[in-house]
Amino acid sequence: MEFLNSLKMRSKFHNVPFDHWELNKPLTKGSIEEICNAEIVNLKELKISYDGTRAIDGGEGKFREGISSGGEALKFRCFIEKDNSKNFPNLTSLIDELRLKETYQYISELIKKNLSNSYVRIEVICDRQGFWLKPHCDIKEKLISCLLFANPFNESEDLGTDFYDEKMNKVKTVPYKDNYGYFFSSGPNTWHGMEKKMIKKERRCLQVNYVTFKTDWPVDH
C-alpha cells in the first residue's frame, strides 16, 4: 500500500497556483524498475519531432477520451492493460491498490470529487531530448491527474512539471526527483506543461488517472 501510505503520511498540500499535492516515495522499488525498463519507441529513430503535445502518437482528442475512432496510438507511451499486465506485476499491484475503495475514497475526500464510478488508467512515459509540453489543462474525462517520477539516471530536478497561473506565468516546477510526484483534480485553471529542457538520457514517469471512460480497471465497489 505504498501509494496510499505516501498519500496519508508523506504528502504535502499546496494551493499555488492551484490545489495540488506533492507525493514522496509513492512507488515500490519493483514499480520503478518496471517504469524504467518498459520498451517505448524512440521518436528520433522514427524522425518524428515533439510538437508540444502528447497527441503526436497518433491518438486524436477522441482517442484520448476513450473513443476508438480517434486513431491508433504508437507506443510512444505504454498503457498497462490486461493484455500486457503479466509483464508488469508491480504496476498491476499498484492498479489493484488504486482500485481499492479505501484508496479512491481517501482521494475523493481530498479533491471533493466522487470517484466511485471511475476507472483507473496508468501509463509509462519516456520523454527524450527535444520533448516539451505546452501549457494546457487536462481533458474533463480525467478526474485526477497524477504524475510519478522515476529518475535513476540523475537527470536534472528541473525536468519536473511546470505549473502556471491563469496569465501563463510559470509559478513553480515540481522537482523531478526519483520516486516523487504530484496529483491534482483536473479543472479549468490547472495549467501545467514542461518547457523544453535538456534531457541527457530519459525522463521516465508514470501517469496515473481516474477517468470517466471505460478501461480494463474499474474501481471496486
Range with the poorest average pLDDT among 130-144, 159-173, 206-220: 130-144
In a domain, residue 218? The reply is: no
Give the least confident one: 17-31, 46-60, 119-133, 171-185. Answer: 46-60
- Domain presence at residue 77: yes
pTM above 0.75, yes or no: yes
Residue 68: CB atoms within 10 Å: 8
Q: Is residue 219 part of a domain?
A: no
What's the angle, vertex CA 206, arms to CA 95 and CA 175, rounded to 5? 130
pLDDT reading at 63 higher than 60: no
Lowest mean pLDDT of 21-25, 68-72, 119-123, 214-218, name the range. 68-72
b/e map 147-161, b = 16+ CB within 10 Å: bbbbbeeebeeebbb
Query: Over 90: is that where the pLDDT of 197 sits?
Result: yes
Is residue 126, in this structure, part of any structural domain at all? yes
Domain around 164: 2-211
Q: Which helix (H) or strand (E) holds 33?
A: helix 29-37
Does residue 216 form part of some domain? no
| Number of separate domains in the chain | 1
Residue 220 belongs to a domain: no
What is the structure's pLDDT at 42?
74
Q: Residue 193 belongs to a domain with what CATH number?
A: 2.60.120.620
User: Looking at the chain, how many residues does it have?
Assistant: 221
Report the pLDDT value the prediction gives residue 58, as an integer from 0 to 100. 46
Compute how many other C-beta atoms are within 10 angstroms of the C-beta atom of residue 164. 20
Per the domain annotation, does 154 fall within a domain? yes
